[in-house]
């Protein structure tokens, strides 16, 4: 894979995560099972950057805790 294909794949995965977390908060485990990707990869490559960018919002007080569930920020597209 070249760099543009990798970036395109990352965008596709993040779109799937956004859709999956749209209506109900989802845990890292649920997201990684839905994607069939190792949870450590999902966490570091997708969830952390998406939470930092406010695309995903943690629904409990721990931003990156073990039991954190994430919900898609439905205002994100309107803000950007």
Question: What mean pLDDT value characterizes the chain?
Answer: 90
Please calculate the CA angle 72-5-33 and round it to the nearest 5 degrees.
45
pTM: 0.87
CATH number for position 59: 1.10.10
Number of independent structural domains in the chain: 1
Structural domain contains residue 2: no
DSSP 3-state percent helix, strand, coil across the chain (nearest 5): 55, 10, 35
Structural domain contains residue 14: no
Structural domain contains residue 43: yes
More confident residue, 17 or 1: 17
Task: Report the distance separating Cα 14 and Cα 46, nearest Å.
Answer: 7
Task: Report the distance separating Cα 70 and Cα 61, nearest Å.
Answer: 11
């Amino acid at each position: 894979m070249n760099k543009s294909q990798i970036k395109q794949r990352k965008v596709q995965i993040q779109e799937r995560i956004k859709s999956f977390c749209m209506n109900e908060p989802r845990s890292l485990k649920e997201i990684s099972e839905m994607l069939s990707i190792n949870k450590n990869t999902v966490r570091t490559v997708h969830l952390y950057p998406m939470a930092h960018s406010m695309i995903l919002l943690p629904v409990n007080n721990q931003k990156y805790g073990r039991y954190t569930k994430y919900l898609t920020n439905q205002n994100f597209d309107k803000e950007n």
